């Protein structure tokens, strides 16, 4: 038997790159796929969050263009003065029942009914032995303008009542601009971002992987195209590594698109509170750490999904089989919202995926330790290598690859 | 004659799932697909594996292509063991079966380059070979058409071309003309003859007797996973047609094993 030198020997890196190029060509050559996986998530998140933010802001702020229709019966001079200082227009009425009907029909927003000698009764009111004079406010909670007017009027009247019994003031000089909340922009940003963003980022990364991994592994199995690859000299580990790396990069791009959409829409989502927040409080080192962390996490997620997809006979089956993993990832992600800051024990940063959430919390809250985040990244990378080995074994298994 | 393939006592058993047991009305949990098959193929010859559906032809070929491992026995392709050196075996063979599909999204041109790279074919050699093969099979005008938009015949031609991008000395074809119209089948048959003329060794599985008679030098007849007869075409037919000889052998085997004769 004659033996020849293997032409493919030493071509490991080249074959991995060849597989990666094919995966990129498959993905980036399909404009629809690029649009739905890379552009659409970011655009949709930006549009939805902006829309939500504007809706919330509108709900709680006065509508300058369409002021509420407010009526008052026996409006006392004291309250008239307060209302005249605001942008809330009002008019006197003598027919409360007719106005109530208008409020029911949503043609008027609010009716204030005062006792005839309200100001005198207030002045005479001394003790709690007799009932205090009552102001009746009629509104329609199903009408947003009416609800908004009610909230504003209620607030004004509460302030007036507090002012009547004024014994002391708290933080009065805040009106002149003296700051009492000593939290810096960094603190506010860190608090909000560390609660919200780890959860959102985990969701985006998982969705990014979900969009490409089952299709590339279970899809190729289902269509019989992976067998065509397995009959070439490409080694199983080259195939596994090529697929995991390329799919991770695509999933990462998808995650970055969603993340960018979130960051850009956050000022609109947070409304007025956004003035005290800025993503610029994070420096290049925080963003680099975050990138390393996200990349190592995507590798773990891609490899996990590759294993699940290898067992599936179709893309549909893979999609269903990935659900338990999704539940685990969501559960881990929610731990970021439980408060209490990031985990302190460095050993906890060795648990894949959980370490990602805790590291993100620590980075966003600017309380990170390089050791903990480093341990998390290294731990994720080691986990990815082990999972890639499992994928390699599965690609070598005829039972897994050829069972239909 | 130089032995290019040696198969020794191959045996392969598959577990039957409950679904398969139900479909096949059996309580057996295992099925012997290949039962101690041994044969050799020599350089420059076309060896035909003949047998009915389910006889074990495809399983044998898949073992030889190192896609699946035998339970027992081994085979050597140009001296490389399919059990111990599967990577080397895959470098040395071309393999075409209807089970292997091409990705619909890509064009023949892209796929040729992709598989050439996996087989470490030098770019200049690749371009020259692509030009020749695309011309032979009339693929030139479809080189930039996605596989999804090709006809069944054209897809089969592209699959065939892709399976030999690295110009292997030993090529395994599993039912290469299956499902093809007569014109495309003729192109494929002529190409097999051309490969033979160029000194390539071919292992072919088919149940089309006319194809086997027209191109095979030697044939092996497999029934129920066993090699019933393996010899030169002349010795096997012994003056009769291959089809008649096959049915004689089949009925003799059925009589011996208590099976149903045809």
Domain ranges of chain B: 3-257
Of A329-338, B2-11, B176-185, give the lowest mean pLDDT range: B176-185
Percent of all residues in chain A with a pLDDT value above 90, rounded to a whole number: 47
Please compute the mean of the pLDDT values over residues B120-148 and round it to a whole number: 94
Quote the tokens at residue A305: 């999904």
Of B104, B106, B95, B90, which is closest to residue B162 (Cα–Cα)? B95
Q: What is the pLDDT of residue A164?
A: 81
Kindly report the nearest CA distance between residue A37 and chain B, in angstroms.
17
What are the structure tokens assigned to A302, written together?
């891609």
Q: Calculate how close chain A gets to B255, using CA atoms only, in Å.
A: 34
| pLDDT exceeds 60 at position A403 | yes
The answer to whether B72 and B11 have CB atoms below 8 angstroms apart is yes
Average predicted confidence (pLDDT) for chain B: 91
Q: At residue B61, does pLDDT exceed 70?
A: yes
Phi and psi for B96 in degrees, rounded to 5?
-130, 125
Judge whether B95 and A223 are in contact, CB under 8 Å: no
Q: How far apart are CA A396 and CA A386, in angstroms?
A: 15
| Nearest one of B251, B256, B255 to B52, comparing CA atoms | B251
pLDDT at B232: 94
- Indicate the average pLDDT of chain A: 86
- Whether the pLDDT of residue B163 is over 60: the answer is yes
State the pLDDT confidence band at A62, using cuts at 50, 70 and 90: low
Of the partner residues B68, B79, B87, the one whose CB lies closest to the CB of residue A402: B68
* Residue bearing the bigger pLDDT, B105 or B181: B105
Average pLDDT over residues B127-144: 94
Please, which pLDDT band fits residue A63 given cuts at 50, 70 and 90? Answer: low
Classify strands A136-139 and B201-206 as parallel, antiparallel or unpaired.
unpaired
Any CB–CB contact under 8 A between B148 and chain A? no
Q: Which has more pLDDT, A173 or B108? A: B108
Look at residue B78 in the predicted model and tell me its pLDDT. Answer: 94
Residue among A106, A108, A107, A124 nearest A73 (CA): A108
Q: Which of residues 14-53 of B touch A (CB under 8 A)?
A: none
Which pLDDT value is given to residue B149?
Answer: 96
Give yes or no for residue A4 having a pLDDT over 50. Answer: no
Residues 16 to 45 of A: which have CB under 8 A from any B CB? 18, 22, 25-26, 29-30
CA-nearest residue to B165 within chain A is A232
On whether any CB of chain B is under 8 Å from the CB of A231, the answer is yes
pLDDT tops 70 at residue A103 = yes
pLDDT of residue B92: 93
pLDDT band at A11 (very low <50, low <70, confident <90, very high): low
Average pLDDT over residues A133-155: 90
For residue A298, pLDDT beyond 80:
yes
CB B77 within 8 A of CB B93: yes
B chain contacts of residue A231, beta-carbon cutoff 8 Å: 65-67, 90, 95, 100
Provide the pLDDT for residue A171: 76
Residues of chain A in contact with residue B118, where contact means CB-CB under 8 angstroms, are: 8, 15, 18, 229, 232-234
Domain A70-176 has CATH 3.40.190: yes
Chain B contact present for A14, CB below 8 A: yes
Query: pLDDT digit string (tens) for A353-366?
Result: 999 999 999 998 88
Tokens read off for B20: 């398969």
pLDDT, average across residues B140-148: 95
- Looking up tokens 């999904």, which residue turns up? A305
> What pLDDT, on a 0 to 100 scale, did the predictor assign at position B35?
94
CA distance B127 to chain A (A): 17
The residue assigned the tokens 């994070």 is A282
Pairing of the two strands B72-77 and B3-15: antiparallel
Topology given in CATH for the domain delimited by B3-257: Rossmann fold (3.40.50)
State how far the Cα of B218 lies from the Cα of B233, in Å rounded to an integer.
Answer: 5
Q: How far is CA B133 from CA B3, B45, B151, in A?
A: 27, 21, 18
Cα(B96)–Cα(B160) distance, rounded to whole angstroms? 6
Q: Is A6 a residue whose pLDDT tops 50?
A: no
* Helices A323-334, A284-311: inter-axial angle, 10-degree rounding: 150
Average pLDDT over residues B166-180: 90
Contact between A227 and B67 using a beta-carbon 8 Å cutoff: yes
B88, B120, B166 member nearest A11 (Cβ): B120
Q: Looking at residue A127, what is its pLDDT?
A: 66
CA–CA dist A94, B41 (Å, integer): 111
Residues facing residue B40 across a β-bridge: B6
Sorted by sequence, the CB contacts under 8 Å of residue B185 that are 6+ apart come out as B177
The ipTM, to two decimals, is 0.87
Residues of B in contact with A26 (CB under 8 A): 103, 105-106
State yes or no: pLDDT of A61 exceeds 70: no
**Chain A neighbors of B114, CB-CB under 8 A:** 18, 22
Residue extents of the structural domains in chain A: 12-57+185-402, 70-176
Query: Is the per-residue pLDDT at B261 higher than 80?
Result: no
B120·A231 Cβ contact <8 A: no
Mutation target among B91, B93, B97, B159 for the A interface, most CBs of A within 10 A: B91
Cβ-defined contact of B79 to A30 (cutoff 8 Å): no
- Residue (of B225, B212, B221) closest to B250 by Cα position: B221
Tell me what percent of chain A is helix, strand and coil, each rounded to the nearest 5. 70, 5, 25
**What pLDDT does residue A276 have?**
62
User: Contacts of residue B67 in chain A, CB cutoff 8 Å?
Assistant: 227, 230-231, 398, 402
- Residues in CB range of A375: below 8 A, 6 or more apart: A346, A349, A350, A355
Q: Which of B2, B92, B101 sits opposite A223 (nearest CB)?
A: B101
B65 contacts A15? CB cut-off 8 A: no
Of A164-178, A230-244, A350-364, the one with minimum mean pLDDT is A164-178
Q: How far is A389 from chain B (nearest CA, A)?
A: 18
pLDDT band for position A271 (50/70/90)? Answer: low
Query: pLDDT digit string (tens) for B76-106?
Result: 999 999 999 999 999 999 999 877 789 999 9
For an interface test with A, which of B86, B102, B103, B156 has the most A Cβ atoms less than 10 Å from its Cβ? B103
Residues in CB range of A243: below 8 A, 6 or more apart: A19, A23, A216, A217, A306, A391
Residue A74, pLDDT above cutoff 60: yes
The minimum CA-CA distance between B88 and chain A, rounded to whole Å, is 6
Residue B91 to residue A8, Cβ atoms within 8 A: yes
User: Do the chains contact at B106 and A26, CB–CB below 8 Å?
Assistant: yes
Q: Does A7 touch chain B (CB under 8 A)?
A: yes
Q: Average pLDDT, stretch B221-231?
A: 92
Chosen from A33, A222, A232, A398 to mutate, greatest number of chain B CBs within 10 A: A232
- pLDDT bin (cut points 50, 70, 90) of residue B238 is confident
* Contact criterion met (CB < 8 Å) for B100 and A228: yes
Are the beta carbons of A6 and B91 separated by less than 8 Å?
yes
pLDDT single digits (tens) A203-212: 989 999 999 9
The DSSP code for A282 is S
Mean pLDDT of B97-118: 91
Question: For residue A3, is pLDDT > 50?
Answer: no
Alpha carbon distance A359, A198 (integer Å): 9
Higher model confidence: residue A366 or residue A306?
A306
């Amino acid at each position: 038997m004659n033996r020849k030198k293997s032409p493919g020997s030493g071509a490991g890196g080249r074959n991995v790159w060849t597989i990666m190029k094919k995966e990129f060509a498959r993905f980036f050559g399909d404009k629809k796929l690029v649009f739905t996986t890379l552009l659409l998530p970011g655009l949709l998140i930006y549009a939805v969050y902006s829309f939500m933010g504007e809706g919330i802001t509108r709900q709680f702020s006065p509508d300058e263009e369409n002021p509420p229709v407010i009526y008052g019966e026996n409006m006392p001079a004291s309250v008239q003065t307060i209302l005249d200082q605001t942008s809330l227009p009002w008019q006197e009425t003598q027919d409360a029942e007719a106005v109530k009907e208008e409020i029911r029909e949503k043609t008027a927003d609010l009716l204030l009914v005062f006792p005839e000698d309200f100001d005198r009764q207030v002045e005479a009111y001394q003790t709690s032995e007799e009932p205090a004079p009552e102001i009746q406010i009629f509104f329609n909670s199903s009408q947003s303008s009416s609800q908004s007017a009610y909230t504003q009027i209620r607030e004004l009247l509460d302030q007036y009542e507090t002012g009547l019994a004024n014994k002391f003031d708290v933080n009065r000089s805040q009106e002149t601009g003296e700051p009492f909340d000593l939290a810096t922009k960094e603190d506010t940003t860190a608090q909000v971002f560390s609660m919200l963003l780890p959860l959102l980022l985990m969701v985006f990364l998982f969705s990014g992987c979900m969009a490409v991994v089952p299709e590339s592994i279970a899809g190729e199995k289902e269509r019989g195209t992976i067998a065509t690859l397995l009959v070439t000299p490409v080694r199983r580990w080259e195939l596994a590594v090529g697929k995991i790396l390329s799919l991770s990069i695509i999933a990462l791009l998808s995650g970055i698109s969603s993340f960018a959409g979130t960051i850009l829409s956050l000022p609109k989502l947070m409304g007025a509170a956004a003035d005290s927040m800025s993503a610029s409080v994070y420096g290049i080192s925080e963003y680099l750490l975050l990138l390393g962390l996200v990349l190592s996490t995507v590798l773990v997620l891609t490899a996990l999904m590759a294993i699940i997809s290898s067992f599936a006979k179709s893309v549909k089956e893979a999609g269903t089989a990935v659900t338990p993993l999704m539940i685990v990832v969501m559960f881990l992600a929610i731990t970021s919202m439980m408060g209490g800051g990031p985990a302190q024990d460095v050993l906890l940063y060795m648990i894949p995926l959980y370490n990602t959430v805790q590291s993100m919390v620590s980075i966003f809250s600017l309380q990170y330790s390089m050791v903990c985040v480093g341990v998390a990244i290294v731990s994720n990378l080691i986990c990815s290598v082990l999972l890639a080995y499992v994928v390699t074994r599965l690609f070598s298994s005829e039972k897994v690859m050829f069972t239909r | 004659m130089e032995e290019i393939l040696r198969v020794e006592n191959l045996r392969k058993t598959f577990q039957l799932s409950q679904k398969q047991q139900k479909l096949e009305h059996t309580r057996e949990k295992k099925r012997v697909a290949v039962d101690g098959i041994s044969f050799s193929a020599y350089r420059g010859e076309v060896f035909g594996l003949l047998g009915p559906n389910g006889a074990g032809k495809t399983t044998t070929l898949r073992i030889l292509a190192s896609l699946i491992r035998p339970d027992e026995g081994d085979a050597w392709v140009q001296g490389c063991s399919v059990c111990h050196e599967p990577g080397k075996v895959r470098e040395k063979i071309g393999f075409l079966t209807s089970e292997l599909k091409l990705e619909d999204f890509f064009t023949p041109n892209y796929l040729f380059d992709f598989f050439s790279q996996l087989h470490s074919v030098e770019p200049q050699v690749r371009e020259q070979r692509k030009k020749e093969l695309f011309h032979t099979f009339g693929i030139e005008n479809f080189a930039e058409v996605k596989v999804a938009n090709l006809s069944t015949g054209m897809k089969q031609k592209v699959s065939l071309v892709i399976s030999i991008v690295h110009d292997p000395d030993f090529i395994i074809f599993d039912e290469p003309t299956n499902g093809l119209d007569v014109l495309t089948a003729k192109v494929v048959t002529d190409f097999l003859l051309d490969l033979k003329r160029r000194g390539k060794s071919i292992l072919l599985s088919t149940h089309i007797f006319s194809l086997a008679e027209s191109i095979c030098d030697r044939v092996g007849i497999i029934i129920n996973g066993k090699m019933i007869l393996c010899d030169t075409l002349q010795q096997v037919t012994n003056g009769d047609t291959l089809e008649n000889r096959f049915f004689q052998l089949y009925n003799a085997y059925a009589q011996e094993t208590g099976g149903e004769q045809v």
